[in-house]
Structure 1
C-alpha cells in the first residue's frame, strides 16, 4: 500500500515552524514554509545554474550523457526526499541541503579543489564545503540589503555539517575513514558572527542528504564508468553489490541491450542502499528514542548510517571505483590538464590582477595579499569547466586575438 502523503512529522524532525530564523530578519512567505523558500532561493542562484557545466567525474564537455554537478545534485535531492518522507522528516530541508551541498565546488571537481587548495596554501587554503557556505552567505547577491541568500539557520547548519561535526571531540569521529583537517579559515571567520554549532551533528534531514550523496555517486559513477568503457561489464561482475545486481539484470533481461541491463542494475542497487539506510536509521531511532531535533544534534554519533552488514561491501565498491575509475589513466590525464589550468589562472590573476574583469579587480584592489588571493580564489571557484578552459585559452595561447 502506498505511503500516505504527507505523513505527520516525527517528533525528532526539524520543524519549519520552529526555525531559528535568518541572520537578517525578513517577512516570511504566506505560501511557502521557510525551508521551501530556502530551496527556491538555491534553485534560482547563479551558482546553482553553473553546476550544469561543472565536473562530476568526467569533464563536462566530454559527453552529453555523463553526470555533471547539477544532475548529481538533483539525483541526491531525489534520494534525500524519499528517505525523509519514509522517516517522517521535513522533505524540503533534506532537499535544499542536497541541492546546495556542492555549490562551492570549483571547476574540474576535486581536482580543481586540490589545485586551488595548493595555490591558496599560504593564504588559509581552500575547502569546497567552506566555499559552499561562502557562496550562500556572501558571493550570491540577489538582494540589495545584504550579501548572500539569507537562508535559515537550519539550512546553513545542515549544509556545513551534513558530514558531521567540524570541531570538538566528535569531529574526529564524524569521518572514521579520513581524519578531518583543521577547520577552514572561511568557516572559522563566519562562525564568529553566526554560531552554527559546529561541534554538534546536524539534524536528521542533513544527515540523510549526506548518505544520499554517497548512494548517488557510488551508483551513478559506476554507471558512467561502464558507459565510458573505463571498466567492462565482465570486470564489474566481480565487484560486491554492483556485480550481484549486474548478474541479476543480465539473467532477468538477457536480450536487453547492455546499457539497459546496467540501468536496471543501478536502479535496483540504489533501492537496496536506500532500504538499508532506512532500516538501520529506523532501528537506531527506535533504540535511542530521541524526542526532538535537538536530541539528534546533541547525540554522540550520527543516527543515519548504512548497516554493519552492508558497509563492508560498499567500501569494496568504493575501492574498485577509486582504482578503476577515479585513477584511470584517461581520467588522470584530464586531471593533470585541469590542475595546470587552475594553477596557471590563479598565479596569473594574483600576479597581474589588472587582467581580472573590472568588478573582480575592484574587489581586490589595495587589499593585503591574503584578501587579494581570496578574491582570485572566489573568481576561479565560480567558473564552470568550459569557462575556465576558455579563459586559459585566451590568456595563455600565442595565437592572434583578432
Structure 2
C-alpha cells in the first residue's frame, strides 16, 4: 500500500524536472535537502537552547538540538514503519525545521515578541516556522511573483505543523499560523483534519520532548549545575507542577526515578560527574539508554493499539503515561537547576529589555535599518500592522550574537 499519494507529494508551485542531472531522489528527500541548506537552519547554531551558545563548546545550541531531534524522529519512524518507508524523511525534515522560528534568546525572546505583536495576531515560534518555510526563506516564487519559501510538499509542511490552529483558537499561548498565512495553512491541511496533528507531526513533537528532556539534563550536568546523586526532590517536583504537569503527584515522581534507576538509566550513587573521559562516557550511555527506553515504550504501545502502517491521519502515536511522567521529571530537573536560577533570571531580564528596545527602534526607523529583504517587505506593506509584522520577522531572524550587535550599533549610537 502506498503511504503517500500524489496529493501528499504536491507542492504549492509545481516544479519541472531538474535541468541538471542529479542523483535520483524522492520528493521527501528533496524536502530534507532544502532544510539542510536553508539559511534559517544555519542560524540555529548561534541561538540559545538552554545554556547560551557562547557558554561552552560542549553544550547544545538550537542547531545541535535539532540534529538530535531529527535522529530520534528518524529512528522512531523507521521502527514504526520499517526501513523502506518514505516517512523517516518526512519526520526527519519536520524535526530539522521544528525550531526554525525561534527568535534570539529562545523562549525568553519569544515572550518579548509575543507581547509586542499581541495587537497584530501575536508571535509564536511554531507559527514563525511555517512563515519561514512558506514565505521568508528564498527558494521559489509563484506566477504572481510572491515568494512561497522552500516550496515543500504538503505532507512535509503538515508534519512541521506542531500546533494546527490559529492565534486565540485554543487556550494558552501556543498556535501554529498567523492570519495572513492562513491560505497556505488551509492548503496544506487535509480535509476534515480539524486541529488534529498528523502522525508525522506527533513523531516530531515527541522526539523534541525526548531529546530536550534528556539532553538538557546532560548539559546541566556538564555545566556543573546538576548532580543526579543529590537532587532536591521537593524542588524538582514543585517545578514539574508549575511548568509541565499541573496536579503532578510526588509519589509518582519518585516512582519515575526508581523505574529509571531499575532500568539502568541513571547515574550510580557516588559516581559524580568529573569531566573525565570515563565520566563523559558514562553520561553519554545514560542519555542513550533513556532515549531508547522512551522510544521503545512508545513503539510498543503504538503497535499494541492497532498496528501500522502509520501515516498522515491514519493512526496516532501512543505515549504511555509512565513515559510522559518520566519525560516531565527530566524536564523538571533541568528547569529547577538551570532555568529557575537567580543568575539566569537577571540575564533574561536584560535580554528582554534589549529585544524590546530593538523592536521599538526598528519600528521608528523603518527600512533604513532593516536587511534588504525585510526593507522590501516594509515598502510593500499596506499598513502599520503589516509593517510591525515585518519588524517582528526581522528581529526573529537574528541570532543571539547578531541581536546583541544590532542593539549595540542601533540603540546605543549617539
* TM-score (normalised: structure 1): 0.82
- Alignment match of 2:198 (pick from 191, 196, 203): 203
Change (3 A) 1:272 1:144: same
Q: Which residue number corresponds to residue 152 of structure 2?
A: 151
Task: State the aligned residue count.
Answer: 370
Q: Distance in 1 between matches of 2:232 and 2:281?
A: 16
Q: Which residue number corresponds to residue 377 of structure 1?
A: 392
Q: Which residue number corresponds to residue 68 of structure 1?
A: 61
- Shift of residue 117 of structure 1? 0.5
- Alignment match of 2:71 (pick from 67, 78, 83): 78
Give the secondary structure class of the aligned counterpart of 1:295.
Answer: coil
Q: Distance in 1 between matches of 2:319 and 2:197?
A: 17
Q: Distance in 2 between matches of 1:91 and 1:107?
A: 29
Alignment check: 8 A CA contact 2:302 2:318 kept: yes
Deviation by residue 1:364-385 (Cα, 9 ceiling, x = unmatched): 1364110110110110111111
- Alignment match of 2:218 (pick from 220, 223, 239): 223
- Shift of residue 277 of structure 1? 1.3
Change (3 A) 1:306 1:294: closer
Alignment check: 8 A CA contact 1:76 1:99 kept: yes
Q: Which residue number corresponds to residue 374 of structure 2?
A: 360
Deviation by residue 1:111-149 (Cα, 9 ceiling, x = unmatched): 111110111112211011111011011001123555111
Q: Distance in 2 between matches of 1:368 and 1:43?
A: 35
- Alignment match of 1:259 (pick from 256, 269, 280): 280
Give the secondary structure class of the aligned counterpart of 2:306.
Answer: helix
Deviation by residue 1:64-114 (Cα, 9 ceiling, x = unmatched): 111111101100111111111111152111111111111111111111111
Change (3 A) 1:274 1:155: same
Does 1:93 pair with 2:90?
A: yes
Q: Which residue number corresponds to residue 8 of structure 1?
A: none
Most deviating of 233-242 and 193-202 = 233-242
Q: Which residue number corresponds to residue 314 of structure 2?
A: 295
Change (3 A) 1:210 1:357: closer
Does 1:104 pair with 2:101?
A: yes
Q: Which residue number corresponds to residue 299 of structure 2?
A: 278
Q: Distance in 1 between matches of 2:194 and 2:134?
A: 20
Alignment check: 8 A CA contact 1:237 1:247 kept: no
Q: Distance in 2 between matches of 1:69 and 1:347?
A: 26
Q: Distance in 1 between matches of 2:373 and 2:231?
A: 49
Change (3 A) 1:222 1:16: farther
- Shift of residue 250 of structure 1? 6.6
Q: Which residue number corresponds to residue 250 of structure 2?
A: none
Alignment check: 8 A CA contact 2:200 2:311 kept: no
Q: Distance in 2 between matches of 1:64 and 1:183?
A: 32
- Alignment match of 2:267 (pick from 236, 242, 247): 247
- Shift of residue 166 of structure 1? 2.6
Which structure has more RCO (C-alpha within 8 Å, separation ≥ 6)?
A: 1
Does 1:307 pair with 2:304?
A: no
Change (3 A) 1:142 1:334: same
- Alignment match of 1:41 (pick from 5, 30, 34): 34
The RMSD of aligned alpha carbons is: 3.1
Q: Which residue number corresponds to residue 21 of structure 1?
A: 10
Q: Distance in 2 between matches of 1:321 and 1:143?
A: 41
Identify unmatched segments of 5+ residues in structure 2: 234-253
- Shift of residue 320 of structure 1? 2.9
Q: Distance in 2 between matches of 1:183 and 1:49?
A: 22
* TM-score (normalised: structure 2): 0.80
